[in-house]
Every structure is written in structure tokens, then in C-alpha cells.
């Protein structure tokens, strides 16, 4: 006889599932991940605040180092492209305003 690790009731040594609490005895109980390390939270943070959310990626224990590097490179490249396109659109807007004689 052994004790169930979930409810502490006496059960058979060969038992796979506790008859008292219904828990499976062979599954490892891993700690639940923090909500801000879920993939959904990381994606939403990256879309909302961009490179400021990279700390969520780097502190996430589920991501491998290569995944962290790839995500960081993609975010930085996307940020630079977005910044360049904003500057380009702004300069074209100023040129259009000056061509119309409004400035």
C-alpha cells in the first residue's frame, strides 16, 4: 500500500489512478506557467508595444535561445521598416503640401 500524492489516502502499490480523488498518479505535476508567458499574451504585447515587449520573450522559460534570437531580430527589423515607412510618408506629405502651395 502507498499513499496518494494528491489526497493522502491509502491505495494499492500498482494503482495508476486514485479511487478516492480520481487523480492519475503517473502524470508529473508541473507548475502552471504565469499568464504573461502564454503565447497569446506575448503576441498581443509585441503587437501593442513592439520592442518594449521583448523582455517577455527573453524571460519566457518555454522558449529556446534560438527562438528568442529569431523573434528579437524579426521585431527589430519590423520596427526599423515601420519607422522608415513613417518617415517616408511624412516627407511625401510635406512635399505634397508644399507643391499645393499650402505651406
pLDDT in tens, 67-100: 999 999 999 999 999 999 999 999 999 999 999 9
DSSP 21-80: T--BSSS--PPPPPGGGSHHHHHHHHHHHGGGGHHHHHH-TTS-HHHHHHHHHHHHHHHH
pTM: 0.63
pLDDT band at 33 (very low <50, low <70, confident <90, very high): confident
Phi, psi of 3 (to 5 degrees): -95, 140
Q: How many CA atoms lie within 13 A of 70 on its CB side?
A: 5
Amino acid at each position: 500500500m502507498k499513499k496518494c500524492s494528491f489526497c493522502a489516502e491509502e491505495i494499492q502499490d500498482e494503482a495508476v489512478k486514485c479511487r478516492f480523488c480520481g487523480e492519475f498518479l503517473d502524470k508529473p505535476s508541473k507548475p502552471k506557467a504565469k499568464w504573461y508567458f502564454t503565447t497569446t499574451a506575448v503576441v498581443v504585447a509585441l503587437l501593442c508595444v513592439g520592442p518594449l515587449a521583448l523582455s517577455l520573450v527573453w524571460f519566457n522559460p518555454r522558449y529556446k535561445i534560438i527562438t528568442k534570437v529569431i523573434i528579437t531580430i524579426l521585431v527589430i527589423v519590423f520596427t526599423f521598416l515601420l519607422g522608415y515607412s513613417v518617415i517616408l510618408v511624412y516627407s511625401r506629405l510635406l512635399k505634397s503640401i508644399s507643391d499645393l502651395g499650402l505651406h
